[in-house]
Structure 1
Amino acid sequence: MVDRDSSSPSVHDFATWEPVLRLLRDSRATEQADQSVRVGGRIGRESWNLPLKRRVPAPGQDGQVEDTRDEKAAVERVRRALAHAGVDEVRFTAKMSPDGASWLRLCGASPAVESGTDTPHPGALLLVEGAVPQPWRRLPDPVPGAVRAPSADPALLERTLRERLPDAIGATEAEIAAAEARQGVPLPEELKALYRVTRLRAEDRDDDDDAAERACMAVGGELFALEDLYVANASSRPSRWEFAAMEAVVTPPDAAVQGLVGSPGWIAFGDNGGGDRLAVDLTPGPCGHVGQIIMLSHEENVGAALVAASLTDLVLDRPGGRRQGSGADRPPAVAHVNSRRLPSIEAAAHPALEVLSIGVWEAEPLSLAPVTELPRLRTLAAYPGTLADPLEIAELGTLEFLALGPEDWRVLLDAGAVPRSLSAALVKVHGCPDPPSTVGMANELLALWGRPQIIQAVVEGDLGPMT
């Protein structure tokens, strides 16, 4: 966190932070007039999170513009300093005494720490550069017997669309070939037929604002222009390690769609209008068809829903095929042991278990002995105080992600027992423990893998007494 230009606003200069600190102190003036104010937050070049106590508008009145104007101005001052320092974001904790003495601890971003959380504590630690969770590494299983649905009829599809969109401008064969080259995968015949009718370029519409809506009505979804097609592989559904590591890829034997994060055979060509992607599926499940239409929910990280057996069926609004396999008779790959779900570690243990999450637990602490020999267990997340002996974690030789509270991490670190199989880790904070100590522990873990440290700095100044 080194400033590049001494003439620019400095992240380490108290004056840079003074407006933010005043806002935070003043927002708590009535409730903490005779006490020190302690707060934490985050400011980044794209977004920020400040724990301001905002004024409640009088009944019947909206919030005033000035309620946010000062906040934006104060944040912008810090963001300019971040830009000059080449830092994407900074987390902070601050203490402001009633007499005005103020202390600010800054925590700069590290390339080995995931960002995006709204707490002053570090996100997931990337112990192995470039590593992604196992579900994001999964490729489609081969389905040798998969064929197109009998309903797939490119000629009928093209005729139908030309009747519905008589004035549309279609793509040339050269443009379709160029799209295939960009995607690195041949487009299925039905998708080619669609774009031969309409390529959906903005410049083709002239002043016809309704052209896109007509194309949507004709097909049954909001179409992408030919140039905007993309392969919905795993990288198109990014997720932070702390969430992604808790997912599992499961495809039941009666499934029409493989339960993947993404696939090199999922070609996204449209949207349902609510952020869910429509795609042609060239890598179907055991009971699916090549070229079936699926929908990728924007609210989920894994899997897709079957919409139609073919693009022809979608356009002709035929009944949408069969349901996705449930896999209800298979043991779950993700298990939650807590006061409301599974009653024990033994109940979660089976050879297919990949993710074990131990939540709030009111009984005696739990032993990990029932899962120490499981061949596929890759994720363990344990709520503080739930483990009888954290050192049992050292027996889990297949872990790639571990999320623990500071006390359990301390046991592992002091014993030299942190599993070396890990690709990522999280110091899971509950409540409001001291962020500097959390950062220090995170740096200890990063040091074990020789990864870049989280840089910290302290800034002091005087705001003057509260009035």
Structure 2
Amino acid sequence: MIDRKPSSSLIRDFATWEPMLRLLLAGNAERQAGPSARVAGRIGLHSWSPAMRRPSPPRGRAAQVEDMQDEFDAVRRVQSALANAGIDDLSFTAEISSTGKAVLHLLGPSPAVEPGIGTPHPGALILVEGALPEPWRRLPDPAPGAVPAPSADPALLERTLRERLPDAIGATEEEIAAAEARLGVALPDELKVLYRVTRARWEDWGDDYAAAARVYAAVGCELFSLDDLYVAGASSRYCRWEFAAMTAAVTAPDAAVQGLVGSPGWIVFGDNGGGDRLAVDLTPGPRGHVGQIIMLGHEDDIGAELLADCLLDLVAERPSARRGNRHDDRPPAVARVNTGNLRSVEAAAHADLEVLSIGVWDDEPLSLASVIGLPRLRTLTAYPGTLADPLEIAELTGLEFLELGPQEWRVLLDAGAVPRGLSAAAIEVRGNQDPLPIVAIANELLALWDRPRIIQTVCEGELGPVG
């Protein structure tokens, strides 16, 4: 879908982009050798990816801001126009003739397309509105036999905390009930005890950092106020589709914590000071305890680490003896076939396989015959040129995410064989390919699901003779 009439918005004004295009053109001399040059990139409100040639600082001096002032000014000019247009991120490509005539294509945005990372090419295509990868839909398995840890003792916890925090202001029963109503879950006894001793509101400490530090020392974490408690469901862990689809929510038979993205039974009450969240776990794994304390790492998309068997153990600095004890002899749910891992698709195939990733390959293209019919296979990614017959994909009826190279997508599109059960898709681009053909394929895929296409706006201008 192409809009050839630039609107009045600054973002679609050629003058907005002219400094950027000049810098990109000057930054790659070999592009100027032919009859025309192509430059491309992506600019967002907080980042930009165009590769510009940056001047080297004088010998013996580190680079300074002023050394790159032209780049910063050009980027800010575009970012200001993005903000004015209410756009977070935009990719572009421009063809510049030897005479200096430039044809600029602005690509997107589309609400059905995630931005590419450091590239002008589109990211994941969301084919079904609101669709989430399977691990983000997974709910905890029931644990009917799970009980609190033997060391859990709400009465002792209360005495310990009151000795450490004699002047703290605790929450009323009405305030605790209001928190439970807001969260939609009853707080476990130990957590209620904690907030009866201190509701951890900053205003109660009178902006006294020392008082906050005393609470940290008493509890063993940066305690959230009762008003800031939240349930760490899957929605609290955002992840891009192309990464989320490559994970699997697997819980080992002897795991204390379920291998989930989130759970309605993970009640977050604090932080370790480094961005990792502490939660009371009401939906433990097969070998876990109700009310155990877990940590959700800020760099992790899935799972949690067991810290203590109960809140009293956390306060008493008694780490769980079961910490990190997980054994699973089952074949992995995520398999990677490439030059450094598995050397065949057959070696990856088993009944519980969920994700198959075919990466860089230096041998004959691979057949997918051995994974056809696997009941749980939901994700396939294949590096360009690695498949012997892309049409075999049509027989993988359970796929919800598919990432292929442009040529493989072309085969499926021309044959009308794109799996219609997909929720999302992606185009794997190798090297510095022109974004326009990639956007054209993306729009064909979006059209199959009647999703908003990537709009192309064309602007033309003059940069003057090149070279």
TM range (shorter): over 0.9
What amino acid is the match of 1:412?
A: L
With over 3 angstroms needed to count, the CA separation of the structure-2 counterparts of 1:149 and 1:112, relative to structure 1, is same
Matches for 1:147-296 after TM superposition, within 5 Å = 147-296=147-296
Which range is displaced more, 382-391 or 85-94? 85-94
Structure 1: distance between partners of 2:40 and 2:165 = 56
Q: Contact (CA 8 Å) 2:3, 2:455: kept in 1 or not?
A: no
**Which residue in the other structure is 1:107 paired with?**
107
- Name the SS of the counterpart of 2:380 in structure 1: strand
Provide structure 1 residue ranges, at least 5 long, that are not aligned to the other structure.
none
1:418/1:168 CA distance change after superposition, 3 Å? same
Greater than 6 Å deviation, 4+ residue runs = none
Quote the Cα distance in structure 2 between the aligned partners of 1:32 and 1:10.
28
TM-score (norm. length: structure 2): 0.93
1:167 and 1:58 map into 2 onto residues whose CA distance is: 61
CA separation in 2, counterparts of 1:171 and 1:447? Answer: 55
Asked if structure 2 preserves the Cα contact closer than 8 Å seen for 1:9 and 1:80, the reply is: no
Q: Secondary structure at the match of 1:260?
A: coil
1:71-95, Cα deviation, whole Å (9 max, x unpaired): 4433333233334434332101134
1:434 aligns with 2:434: yes
Matched-pair contact (CA < 8 Å) for 1:257–1:324? no
Q: Is the 8 A contact 2:293 2:311 kept in 1?
A: yes
Where 1:278 maps in the other structure, the secondary structure is: strand
Partner-residue secondary structure (3-state), 1:94: strand
1:63 positional shift: 2.9
Match of 1:52 in 2: 52
- Letter matched to residue 189 of structure 2: E
In structure 2, relative to structure 1, the CA distance for the partners of 1:465 and 1:162 (3 Å cut) is farther
Kindly state the Cα deviation for residue 395 of structure 1 after the two structures are TM-superposed: 0.5
Q: Does 1:387 align with 2:387?
A: yes
Aligned Cα root-mean-square deviation (Å):
2.2
Residue 184 of structure 1 deviates from its aligned partner by: 1.1
C-alpha contact (below 8 Å) 2:143/2:285 kept by paired residues? yes
Aligned to 1:344: 344
Match of 2:12 in 1: 12
> Is 1:403 matched up with 2:403?
yes
State whether residues 268 and 279 of structure 1, in contact with CA within 8 Å, keep that contact through their aligned partners in structure 2.
Answer: yes
Structure number with the bigger relative contact order (C-alpha 8 A, sep ≥ 6) is 2
In structure 1, the partner of 2:143 is 143
What SS does the aligned partner of 1:49 have? coil
2: CA distance, partners of 1:130 / 1:11: 28
Aligned to 2:94: 94
TM-score relative to the length of structure 1: 0.93
8 Å CA contact retained: 2:356, 2:381: yes
Alignment-derived partner of residue 317 in structure 1: 317
Q: Cα gap change, 1:207/1:333 in structure 2, threshold over 3 Å: closer, same or farther? A: closer
CA contact (8 A) 1:367 1:388 kept: yes
Query: Displacement of 1:12 after TM fit?
Result: 2.0
**Residues 320-329 or 453-462, more deviating:** 320-329
1:34 is displaced (CA, Å) by 5.3
Matched length: 464
CA deviation vs aligned residue, 1:157-211 (integer Å, no higher than 9, x gap): 1221222223332222222222212211111111111122222222222242222
Shift of 1:343: 1.6
Structure 1 residue 319 displacement after superposition = 3.2
Structure 1 residue matching 2:209: 3-state secondary structure: coil
Whichever residue aligns with residue 196 of structure 1, its letter is: R
